[in-house]
């Protein structure tokens, strides 16, 4: 398909360029230089039409979200993003779609000074895979397996908005006006917490990003660390848009089990708590303390105003979108 | 899909492990260390069922070929392979298929001491994307844009076998016995020319791997370098299996326009020719001189025993498989 050469040209000509990219798009490989005294963090995520995004999602959102999801993984490791590679599978060529896609692709890369260094464009079902790479100083990367009993549990931003946005798009939830626009926007254009990730490097004990839902992702931390947790459902940060649209009870459910918010959940011990709050304030990141890590391995104790809270929804253990 | 957790476990437990991988599969990112005084070469290739491999291709071949294609890109840049990330999209879970896939995945990684450091497993049409990374000393990477008039043109191994193997599988060519097995095997299990790539670093001027066919890929070198070339069709290296199966004339056509051989085409000037042949002999790589780079930009002059040779096949300018 000759048009695919055109796409390659868009990719090669657009976007941010970096001095540490010695050879970019157009050869068999890209060649880059990792700074001295930095380790390399690498992540790969695939988004498939109808599985990870709505088949009629705007092209700009498809590209934007694929970049955001990968930068979010780097953020969860405390890495500073540097380069991405994109593999795009397209069933056919549509100029308007490609224009919007390219726009969405370069929004976050421009903002975070990330360079697209290569990839592949093939004929096939609509899907895209991005591999993102970033830098992290030796022995400062954040992991999910290093939470300790007694650690405070925090989450950045608000939870549940993206899941509600998806349900609005699918006609399962009614919403109107600004709230509707806001929630849909949080689904289509999630914010990777890049600044928060690097700010947490030397203070947080464990970290993960919320892709599958708070309960599911916090459980990854608990299983990896051999710990339990108490989470105060009434303290979960929810937006006024979500609260006003679905009410408190439903808002809590979204906050606990809806995915695709790409906020960071992290733990910090009492001693580092002050330093952490200072770093986050300096980075202009909102974070909310929602509970505490316990020594009861595998036990997640949800509390609503100190009463036991039952989550009658097991969807949180799978990717929310697949159930949406 | 819970079974997908099983696949992740296979991936995490199998294969070669390296000391420069500080954090492997299982967290948000892998963390690695690039050796001092080495640059990083990065490539991404996607293979889609029915587009890049037969829908009924053995699972072992699907995985093996995806790794080979990516290592071949690193080889064409002169890079030594180190790590791969795999994104696998599967329509459903089939234990026997997955077992074979994992076997094929780790064959080349074991052989070349490459570690699988992460990836993604998703539900979707059968497809896989691999990002491979390797090391190359500063300013020694091989490019396609640096051929010079007067350079000799070489190719490793034999050409055309993989394309004939595909045609045999599709019933377009008759073959039997050992020749049939050999040609099909070259289609399913191509050899990335890793040793050749590193051996060529300091002597070759330009290099590319033959994925789309000799004419198509040599044209990339010519366009990138602003040169032309004379190629002696009668000197193209073809296997006795191909020769015996389709005869000389058809063998030349396969050698010129069939893809998926993953041999390296490279150019070298007269002065470095002796050093190059010594390096290749030391690396136990067969390479054949097939012609010469000229100053006639964009002109590819094919010769058969010094007469002009017309290639009545424009398939060489697209990926052979799509037409096969």
Grouping H, G, I as helix, E, B as strand and the rest as coil, residue A139 is: coil
Last residue of a domain, one of B74, B101, B136: B136
Asked if residue A141 belongs to a domain, the reply is no
Model ipTM? 0.92
- Selected for mutation to probe chain A from B20, B28, B88 (highest A CB count within 10 Å) is B28
CB-based contact A85:A130 (threshold 8 Å)? yes
Q: For residue A116, which of A49, A67, A69, A75 has the smallest C-alpha distance?
A: A67
Nearest Cβ partner of A42 from B32, B141, B209? B32
pLDDT of residue A324: 25
pLDDT above 80 for A57: yes
Q: For residue B114, which of B60, B53, B68, B59 has the smallest C-alpha distance?
A: B68
pLDDT of residue B35: 96
- Selected for mutation to probe chain B from A11, A33, A38, A42 (highest B CB count within 10 Å) is A42
pLDDT digit string (tens) for B142-198?
Answer: 999 999 999 999 999 999 999 999 999 999 999 999 999 999 999 999 999 999 999
B93 and B237 share a domain?
no
Report chain B residues whose CB lies below 8 A from the CB of A129: 44, 46, 87, 120, 129
Asked if residue B324 belongs to a domain, the reply is no
A205 and A90 share a domain?
no
Report chain A residues whose CB lies below 8 A from the CB of B145: 27
Asked if residue A165 belongs to a domain, the reply is yes
Nearest Cβ partner of B51 from A45, A52, A124? A124
The rounded distance, in Å, linking the Cα atoms of A150 and A270 is 8
Supply the mean pLDDT for chain B.
93
- Report the Cα A68 to chain-centroid distance in Å: 6
Strand partners, B287: B156
* CATH code, domain carrying B215: 3.90.650.10
Ranges of H-type helices in chain A:
3-13, 59-76, 95-111, 161-169, 177-188, 194-200, 214-225, 240-257, 273-282, 320-323
Structure tokens at A67: 């970049």
pLDDT above 50 for B318: no
A124 and A257 share a domain?
no
pLDDT digit string (tens) for A16-47?
Answer: 999 999 999 988 899 999 999 999 999 999 99
Asked if residue B145 belongs to a domain, the reply is no
Q: For residue A132, which of A87, A84, A86, A88 has the smallest C-alpha distance?
A: A84
Nearest Cβ partner of B143 from A27, A86, A129? A27
Cβ atoms within 10 Å, residue B178: 10
B311 and B182 share a domain?
yes
Within 13 Å and on the Cβ side, how many CA atoms surround B259?
19
A124–B125: do the CB atoms touch at under 8 Å?
Answer: yes
Average pLDDT in the B297-308 region? Answer: 95
Asked if residue A128 belongs to a domain, the reply is yes
The rounded distance, in Å, linking the Cα atoms of A189 and A66 is 10
B221 and B285 share a domain?
yes
Report chain B residues whose CB lies below 8 A from the CB of A36: 36
Contacts of B187 (CB under 8 A, 6+ apart): B161, B162, B163, B164, B165, B166, B169, B260
The rounded distance, in Å, linking the Cα atoms of A130 and A123 is 17
The rounded distance, in Å, linking the Cα atoms of B9 and B32 is 20
* CATH code, domain carrying B63: 3.30.1330.10
B8 and B48 share a domain?
yes
pLDDT above 90 for A158: yes
A157 and A132 share a domain?
no
Nearest Cβ partner of B89 from A83, A85, A127? A127
Last residue of a domain, one of A76, A104, A136: A136
CB-based contact B22:A77 (threshold 8 Å)? no
Degrees to nearest 5, angle at CA B89 with A30 and A168: 105
Domains contained in chain B, number: 2
B48–A124: do the CB atoms touch at under 8 Å?
Answer: yes
Q: For residue A129, which of A79, A90, A81, A187 has the smallest C-alpha distance?
A: A90
Cβ atoms within 10 Å, residue B200: 30
pLDDT digit string (tens) for A228-273?
Answer: 999 999 999 999 999 999 999 999 999 999 999 999 999 999 999 9
Last residue of a domain, one of A136, A163, A192: A136
Binding residues of A: 28, 43-45, 52, 73, 119-120, 144, 209, 211-212, 260, 317
CB-based contact A26:B73 (threshold 8 Å)? no
A85–B143: do the CB atoms touch at under 8 Å?
Answer: no
Structure tokens at A289: 């303390």
B128 and B101 share a domain?
yes
Asked if residue A143 belongs to a domain, the reply is no
DSSP state of A147: -
Cβ atoms within 10 Å, residue A25: 19
Range of the domain at A81: 3-136
Q: Provide the shortest C-alpha distance from residue B179 to chain A (in Å).
A: 31
pLDDT digit string (tens) for B67-121?
Answer: 999 999 999 999 999 999 999 999 999 999 999 999 999 999 999 999 999 988 9
Q: Provide the shortest C-alpha distance from residue A33 to chain B (in Å).
A: 5
Which residue reads 């190359």 in tokens? Answer: B136
Any idea of the CA torsion for B102, B105, B108, B109, to the nearest 10 degrees? -90
pLDDT of residue A323: 30
CB-based contact B85:A130 (threshold 8 Å)? no
Asked if residue A142 belongs to a domain, the reply is no
Segment among A74-78, A124-128, A147-151 with least mean pLDDT: A124-128
A123 and A33 share a domain?
yes
DSSP state of B89: E
B130 and B168 share a domain?
no
Degrees to nearest 5, angle at CA A109 with A105 and A112: 155
pLDDT digit string (tens) for B179-191?
Answer: 999 999 999 999 9
Grouping H, G, I as helix, E, B as strand and the rest as coil, residue B60 is: helix
Nearest Cβ partner of A129 from B28, B52, B87? B87
The rounded distance, in Å, linking the Cα atoms of B2 and B71 is 31
A87–B46: do the CB atoms touch at under 8 Å?
Answer: yes
Asked if residue B167 belongs to a domain, the reply is yes
Which residue reads 């733990």 in tokens? Answer: A267
B239 and B115 share a domain?
no
A127-136 sheet: strands from edge to edge: A115-123, A80-90, A127-136, A39-48, B30-32, B21-23
Counting other chains too, the contacts that A9-15 makes at CB distance below 8 Å and 24 or more residues apart are A10/A98, A10/A102, A11/A86, A11/A102, A11/A105, A11/A116, A11/A119, A11/A121, A14/A102, A14/A105, A14/A106, A14/A116, A15/A105, A15/A106, A15/A109, A15/A110, A15/A115, A15/A116
B28–A86: do the CB atoms touch at under 8 Å?
Answer: no
Task: Provide, rounded to the nearest whole percent, the portion of chain B with pLDDT above 70.
Answer: 95
A128 and A56 share a domain?
yes
Structure tokens at A46: 């695939």
């Amino acid at each position: 398909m000759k048009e695919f050469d055109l796409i390659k040209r868009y990719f090669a000509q657009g976007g941010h360029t970096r001095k540490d990219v010695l050879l970019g798009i157009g050869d068999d490989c890209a060649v880059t230089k990792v700074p001295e005294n930095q380790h390399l963090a690498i992540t790969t995520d695939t988004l498939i039409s109808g599985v990870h995004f709505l088949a009629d999602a705007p092209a700009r959102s498809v590209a934007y979200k694929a970049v955001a999801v990968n930068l979010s993984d780097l953020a969860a490791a405390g890495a500073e993003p540097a380069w991405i590679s994109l593999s795009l599978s397209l069933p056919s060529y549509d100029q308007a779609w490609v224009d919007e896609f390219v726009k969405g692709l370069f929004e976050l890369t421009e903002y975070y000074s990330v360079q697209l260094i290569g990839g592949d464009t093939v004929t096939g079902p609509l899907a895209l895979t991005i591999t993102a790479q970033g830098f992290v100083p030796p022995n400062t990367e954040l992991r999910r397996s290093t939470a300790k009993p007694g650690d405070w549990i925090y989450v950045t931003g608000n939870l549940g908005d993206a899941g509600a946005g998806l349900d609005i798009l699918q006609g399962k939830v009614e919403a109107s006006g600004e709230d509707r626009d806001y929630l849909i926007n949080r689904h289509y254009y999630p914010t990777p917490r890049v600044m928060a990730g690097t700010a947490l490097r030397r203070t947080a004990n464990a970290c993960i990003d919320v892709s599958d839902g708070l309960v599911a992702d916090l459980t990854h931390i608990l299983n990896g660390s051999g710990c339990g947790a108490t989470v105060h459902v009434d303290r979960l940060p929810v937006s006024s848009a979500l609260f006003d649209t679905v009410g408190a009870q439903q808002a809590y459910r979204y906050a606990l089990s809806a995915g695709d918010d790409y906020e960071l959940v992290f733990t910090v011990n009492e001693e580092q708590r002050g330093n952490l709050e200072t770093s986050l304030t300096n980075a202009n990141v909102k974070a909310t303390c929602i509970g505490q890590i316990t020594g009861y391995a595998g036990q997640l104790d949800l509390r609503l105003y100190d009463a036991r809270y039952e989550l009658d929804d097991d969807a949180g253990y799978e990717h929310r979108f697949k159930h949406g």
